[in-house]
Amino acid sequence: MIRIAVWNVNSIRARLPLVLKWLAESRPDIALLQETKCEDAAFPTLEVGDVGYNVAVAGQKTYNGVAVLSKRPIDEVAAHRLPGDETDQQARYIEALTGGIRVASIYLPNGNPVGTEKYDYKLAWMTRLHHHVKTLLATEDTFVLGGDYNVAPEDADVHDPRAWEADALCRPETRAAWRRIVCLGLTDAYRALNPEPGRYSWWDYRGSAWSRDQGLRIDHLLLSPQATDRLTAAGIDRNPRGWEKPSDHTPVWCELTE
DNA sequence: ATGGTGGTTCGACCA
């Protein structure tokens, strides 16, 4: 069995004690992290290595930043940015080969406020991702694309759909772009095995959203057909959201047969 | 209608 987890940590340096605690307790084979918010040289590679993980990072100062952690050797880093626009320097995509699986850690743009260049950037980024997924599918590889997609795919993924309907995470154009990607042949691992509504991966720091369970499901693991054939379990680990000094996201995981 | 919280970094931006 191989377990793959995704977690937006909202700064790896601010969150390092919790990340190390989480790695020690849940021992995922592969961890895909987002919003590391540090340049590559500042990533705590030694600390993460001490608890048994190899590291590949695509970082930048202050914003964004993604990482792949793996118990197995990382054999190749296939990309440090999302292909399709060499002028886009935002560190939101890293793709690596480890343990016989191709994985990507994705931090898809938030896109708020709608009607600005930020929303245009989000939709353009999703179009680029669509193109790249088509390329990946043509390889017939086993791959898992995990990340903070900043997309709540359906109303069932939102605590108050009416309050969120105009938000960039829920807009019809956003959800259409999401479906366009998934319908190429990917599987939303959590949703495939857990049909019940009202299960979230992110809760705003503001307004006591966590204690009221007012969240959204925006962190996802998208599986290729070959990975889906091996999918046995998926879940959301709510515990880290309740820890002291938490990220506003909590880990989502899936298990594949060896 | 506003602001609520947190990270980065020290004013303002992002989420």
Render pLDDT for A48-93 as a digit per residue (tens, 0 to 9).
999 999 999 999 999 999 999 999 999 999 999 999 999 999 999 9
For residue A245, give Cα distances in angstroms to A2, A11, A14, A236: 29, 12, 9, 19
Q: Which of residues 52-111 of A touch strand B (CB under 7 A)?
A: 61-63, 109-110
Render pLDDT for A212-229 as a digit per residue (tens, 0 to 9).
999 999 999 999 999 999
DSSP structure class, residue A249: B
Domain membership of residue A126 as a residue range: 2-256
Judged by C1' against the alpha carbon of A207, the nearest nucleotide is B4
DSSP structure class, residue A167: S
Instruction: Using the C1' atom of nucleotide B8, identify the protein residue whose alpha carbon is closest.
Output: A62
Number of domains present in the structure of chain A? 1
CA–C1' distance A112–B1 (Å)? Answer: 19
- pTM, full prediction: 0.98
CATH number at residue A44: 3.60.10.10
Q: Which residue has the tokens 């940015």?
A: A81
Instruction: Using the C1' atom of nucleotide B15, identify the protein residue whose alpha carbon is closest.
Output: A110
Q: Is the CB of A242 under 7 A from strand B?
A: no
